[in-house]
């Protein structure tokens, strides 16, 4: 037996320490590309200590657009050559404010203003070329327009040039040039530039003095009351970046920012209370600060407030309210919020269970690169849950998640290769993927490696290797591996035959409700092999296995009811179990003449009743109408 469907514990994911800048222009456009400290949202706070805070993409600066002017009001002055009207009109088209979003039209208006020397438009056009928004992606043109804007003293363009030199996109990688542009932007108060300057290391030939200057600037700005700097400095203390890690100092600076109404600072202070880092753990205060951040539109605050409602931490449990906060984050475009809302629909928590709606939100999140959502979307396609079954699409999404290190997706992809479902059968690739999972101690992967060696799938059959992998997985509690090890001891495969050890391993697996192991253990009790003969215990495990969906157990149990072996005779129940077993792939043998004679004597009414019972049966159901066991001896 091998693990064909990896077990997945679906949990709502919380946001961890993230960076966001509380400025008017930092809204929907760059919310998830530049404002956060990493692409992966980590559940455990401490695990983030090694994450980096570098901003690694050029960003639009929309600070002068207030939304008070409408496209209708702007079109006439723009067409008459008013460069600011042209620029603002470009922003409105870019963001879809008052008009349907249209990046191409936005870029056209940016170009008109930029060619007339409008610095903000030059920066925006440079970013359009850098990202390929509304124009063909062209990093050389991006640099050209950013230089024009920076030459006019545009700090955002200076920052963007720093990013390009820092990352080597469109220009040769040059840390010295990056530092120079960051310093220019920092002189104009750009907190992001201070972040990136602080992140440049000695190994990139940037002097310690420059790194120290960035931190010094950040600390002075925080001390002078800059809430962005206070929030960022708190994050530096969380992770020990260019300062000694100090959670108390982190919480101090988060509070300073939070008390000024800084949404990200409020969120981070709430997270500090939730985790008890730098402050005494207090779920009620965590909820209070999450709520303040959430009410300001912070997606991270909304997600973590939803988590508190979902778990009943610091506030009475209310999954409908949890779902509403996840929805707010999801509708703002937050990938984690979208994933969590999908999970609520998948489980029917706080909303009506709706697999199609779950798939809708998983797709939204998956298309933004969220690996958990990609995995869930792959499962939906594989199982045909909420969407038409499409094994090729399933494999494509499993691959995306696996490429990001998702172990569940790696196992599912490996199983696709094992079975040739949605992809050409390839045992070698399956084994490689399982080995990756086993390197992390994943017991399911270890068991599957054992299965491959036991059966010689793409490798020479190797009983000793199979047993070694089964034992590793079994000792970690994997029930399939425990059953496989029990079978090995029963049959003498790769080990000396030992019925007592077989029974012990089957029992470990059966105690975890493994249907196959329960069947094998029932046969040992029925025959007194490795255990004392006990027909009552044999029947108990046989029934557990049959109701758990194991077809061989259903066949044996059906035969026992038909003949009255070790159970009171019940032909209707017995025949129903045989029908179920036959559907499950375990037909009754023609050689069992006793069973055949009983069936031949059944009335049409009895047979019809058995068919109705079988049709209505679902895994976990029992069929016995008169199931008290006898104490007859013998197998």
Is residue 86 within 8 Å of 120, Cβ to Cβ?
Answer: no
Q: Across residues 355-384, what is the average pLDDT?
A: 96
Q: What is the DSSP string of 543-611?
A: HHHHHTT-HHHHHHHHHHHHHTSSS---HHHHHHHHHHHHHTT-PPPTT-HHHHHHHHH--HHHHHHHH
Where residue 399 falls among pLDDT bands split at 50, 70, 90?
Answer: very high
Lowest mean pLDDT among 73-82, 90-99, 494-503: 90-99
Q: How far apart are CA 283 and CA 271, in angstroms?
A: 9
Q: Across residues 163-184, what is the average pLDDT?
A: 87
Lowest mean pLDDT among 10-24, 246-260, 409-423: 10-24
- For 197-213, the pLDDT digits (tens) are 766 654 454 566 766 77
Q: How far apart are CA 109 and CA 106, in angstroms?
A: 5
- CA within 13 Å, CB half, 122: 23
Q: Do domains 51-224 and 225-317 have the same CATH topology?
A: yes
pLDDT at 142 over 90: yes
pLDDT at 381 over 50: yes
Superfamily of chain region 225-317: Tetratricopeptide repeat domain (1.25.40.10)
pLDDT at 444 over 60: yes
Paired tokens of 540:
């108990």
- Under DSSP, the state recorded for 203 is G
CA distances from 454 to 143, 419, 485 (A): 59, 16, 11
Q: What does the domain layout of the chain look like in residue ranges? A: 51-224, 225-317, 559-624
Where residue 587 falls among pLDDT bands split at 50, 70, 90?
Answer: confident
Is residue 223 within 8 Å of 240, Cβ to Cβ?
Answer: no
Is residue 613 within 8 Å of 573, Cβ to Cβ?
Answer: yes
C-alpha angle 188-165-174 in degrees, rounded to nearest 5: 115
Is residue 493 within 8 Å of 455, Cβ to Cβ?
Answer: no
CA distances from 408 to 4, 401, 514, 521 (A): 11, 9, 20, 30
From the options 1.25.40.10, 2.40.420.20, 1.10.10.350, 3.30.460.80, give the CATH code of 51-224. 1.25.40.10
Q: How far apart are CA 306 and CA 325, in angstroms?
A: 5
Give the pLDDT score at 473: 96
- For 1-47, the pLDDT digits (tens) are 655 443 333 334 566 554 433 332 222 222 222 222 222 222 222 22
For residues 303 and 186, which has the higher predicted lDDT (pLDDT)?
A: 303
Lowest mean pLDDT among 46-55, 177-186, 475-484, 503-512: 46-55
- For 590-609, the pLDDT digits (tens) are 556 788 888 899 999 999 99
Give the pLDDT score at 21: 32
């Amino acid at each position: 037996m091998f693990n064909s469907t990896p077990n997945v514990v679906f949990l709502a994911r919380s946001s961890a320490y993230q960076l966001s800048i509380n400025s008017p222009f930092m809204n929907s456009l760059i919310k998830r590309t530049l404002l956060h400290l990493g692409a992966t949202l980590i559940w455990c706070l401490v695990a983030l200590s090694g994450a980096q805070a570098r901003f690694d993409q050029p960003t639009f600066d929309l600070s002068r657009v207030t939304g008070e002017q409408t496209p209708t009001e702007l079109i006439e002055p723009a067409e008459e050559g008013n460069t600011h009207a042209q620029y603002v009109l470009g922003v409105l088209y870019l963001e879809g404010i008052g008009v349907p979003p249209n990046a191409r039209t936005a870029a056209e208006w940016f170009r008109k203003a930029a060619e007339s020397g409008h610095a903000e438009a030059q920066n925006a056009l440079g970013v359009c070329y850098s990202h390929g928004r509304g124009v063909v992606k062209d990093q050389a043109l991006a640099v050209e327009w950013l230089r024009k804007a920076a030459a006019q003293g545009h700090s955002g363009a200076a920052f963007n040039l720093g990013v390009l030199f820092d990352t080597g996109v469109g220009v040769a990688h040059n840390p010295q040039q990056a530092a120079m542009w960051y310093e220019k932007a920092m002189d104009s108060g750009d907190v992001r530039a201070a972040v990136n300057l602080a992140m440049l290391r000695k190994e990139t030939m940037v002097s310690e003095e420059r790194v120290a200057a960035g931190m010094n600037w950040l600390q002075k700005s925080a001390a002078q009351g800059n809430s962005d700097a206070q929030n960022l400095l708190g994050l530096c203390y969380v992770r020990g970046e260019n300062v000694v890690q100090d959670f108390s100092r982190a919480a101090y600076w988060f509070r300073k920012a939070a008390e000024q109404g800084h949404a990200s600072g409020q969120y981070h202070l709430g997270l500090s209370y939730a985790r008890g880092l730098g402050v005494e753990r207090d779920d009620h205060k965590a909820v209070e600060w999450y709520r303040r951040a959430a009410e300001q539109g912070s997606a991270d605050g909304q997600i973590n407030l939803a988590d508190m409602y979902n778990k009943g931490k610091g506030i009475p449990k209310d999954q409908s309210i949890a779902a509403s906060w996840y929805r707010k984050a999801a509708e703002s475009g937050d990938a984690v919020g979208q994933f969590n809302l999908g999970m609520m629909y998948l489980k029917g928590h706080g909303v009506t269970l709706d697999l199609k709606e779950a798939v809708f939100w998983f797709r939204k999140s998956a298309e933004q690169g969220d690996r958990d959502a990609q995995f869930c979307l792959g499962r939906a396609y594989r199982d045909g849950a909420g969407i038409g079954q499409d094994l090729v699409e399933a494999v494509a999404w499993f691959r995306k998640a696996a490429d990001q290190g998702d172990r569940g997706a790696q196992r599912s992809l490996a199983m696709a290769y094992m079975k040739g479902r949605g992809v050409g059968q390839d045992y070698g690739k399956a084994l490689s993927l399982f080995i990756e999972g086993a390197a992390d101690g994943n017991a399911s992967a270890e068991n599957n490696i054992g299965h491959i060696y036991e059966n010689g799938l793409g490798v020479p059959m190797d009983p000793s290797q199979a047993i070694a992998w089964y034992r590793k997985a079994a000792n970690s509690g994997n029930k399939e591996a425990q059953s496989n090890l029990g079978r090995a001891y029963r049959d003498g495969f790769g080990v000396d035959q030992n019925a007592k050890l077989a029974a012990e391993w089957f029992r470990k697996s059966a105690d975890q409700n493994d249907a196959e192991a329960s069947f094998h253990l029932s046969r040992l009790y029925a025959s007194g092999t490795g255990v004392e003969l006990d027909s009552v215990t044999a029947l108990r495990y046989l029934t557990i296995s049959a109701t758990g969906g194991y077809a061989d157990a259903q066949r044996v149990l059906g035969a026992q009811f038909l003949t009255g072996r070790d159970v009171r005779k019940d032909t209707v129940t017995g025949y129903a179990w045989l029908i179920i077993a036959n559907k499950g792939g375990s037909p009754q043998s023609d050689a069992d003449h006793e069973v055949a004679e009983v069936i031949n004597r059944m009335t049409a009414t009895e047979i019809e009743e058995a068919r109705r019972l079988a049709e209505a049966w679902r895994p976990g159901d029992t069929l016995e109408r008169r199931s008290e066991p006898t104490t007859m001896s013998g197998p």
